[in-house]
Amino acid sequence: METLPPFESVVRTHGATVMRVCLAVVGPSDADDAWSETFLSALRVYPRLDAGANVEAWLVTIAHRKAIDVVRARGRRAIPVDEVPDVGSPAWHGLDPQLWEALAELPFTQRAAVAYHHVMGLPYKEIAAILGNSTEAARRASSDGIARLRADGRVTGRPPDPPGPRRDPARSRGAAPCGGDGAPSSRRRP
């Protein structure tokens, strides 16, 4: 019988991923709150989680829902301040502030699809499950979001490849692998 690892190790292993989800949905100012709410909620259910469950996918789903709760709560309350503090999070360092600003202006579904796919490297099937729509709708939202970012002029070029193993687009569509000149290659790829 499989047993679950201690919850502390789950937080250590998946904390950064959960933070990226929270940042993608709520931005740097409220990401810490969403992150905390995610792990508090997960801790309550963790003892009953199936030992064979995909813990990362489970946490991403919780994080997405908790982040949406934070967005909804933010809309219900306004906190006036004299000066807006410069809030930064280690998980967000290294990302262009202009990119964050441009992402924040996208509609929620496009922003989430772009961030989940191009920042976190999640496949469209998982994004669809998180957002509660079809794989094609997730792919379309990401594509529309990237197009809108480019049209805005603040983001140029091709989006970065998602983290993780690089996929060969020709092989994933069933086409013959091509050589550098675009002609079919006679070599077999492993």
Looking at the fold, whether 37 and 10 belong to one and the same domain comes out as yes
Chain centre to alpha carbon of residue 170? 25
Helix (H) or strand (E) holding 22: helix 7-26
Query: Does 181 map to a domain?
Result: no
> What count of other Cβ atoms lies within 10 Å of the Cβ of residue 28?
19
Query: Does 57 map to a domain?
Result: yes
Q: What is the pLDDT of residue 158?
A: 60
Query: Does 179 map to a domain?
Result: no
Looking at the fold, whether 117 and 147 belong to one and the same domain comes out as yes
The stretches of 77-165 forming alpha helices (DSSP H) are 97-104, 108-114, 124-131, 135-152
Q: What is the pLDDT of residue 96?
A: 67
Looking at the fold, whether 71 and 120 belong to one and the same domain comes out as no
- Judged by DSSP in three states, 55 sits in helix
Query: Do the Cβ atoms of 95 and 104 come closer than 8 Å?
Result: no
Q: What is the pLDDT of residue 66?
A: 93
The model's pLDDT over 33-43, given as tens digits with 9 standing for 90+, comes to 999 999 999 99
Q: What is the pLDDT of residue 115?
A: 83
Domain residues for 47? 1-80+87-93
- Judged by DSSP in three states, 33 sits in helix
pLDDT, average across residues 155-179:
48
Query: Does 162 map to a domain?
Result: no
Nearest of 25, 46, 47 to residue 34 by alpha carbon: 25
Q: Identify the residue whose tokens are 């309550």.
A: 44
Looking at the fold, whether 148 and 123 belong to one and the same domain comes out as yes
Looking at the fold, whether 69 and 143 belong to one and the same domain comes out as no
Query: Does 130 map to a domain?
Result: yes
The model's pLDDT over 42-98, given as tens digits with 9 standing for 90+, comes to 999 999 999 889 999 999 999 999 998 888 887 665 566 677 655 544 444 556 677
Residue 31: which CATH number?
1.10.1740.10
The model's pLDDT over 130-146, given as tens digits with 9 standing for 90+, comes to 888 999 999 999 999 98
Query: Does 164 map to a domain?
Result: no
Q: Please tell me the pTM assigned to this model.
A: 0.52
Tell me the C-alpha distance between 160 and 80, whole Å. 37
Q: Which residue has the higher pLDDT, 93 or 105?
A: 105
**Average pLDDT of the chain to the nearest whole number:** 77
Query: Does 187 map to a domain?
Result: no
pLDDT at 187 over 80: no
Total domain count, the chain: 2
**Orientation angle between helical segments 135-152 and 97-104, nearest 10 degrees:** 120
Q: What is the pLDDT of residue 6?
A: 93
Residue 118: which CATH number?
1.10.10.10
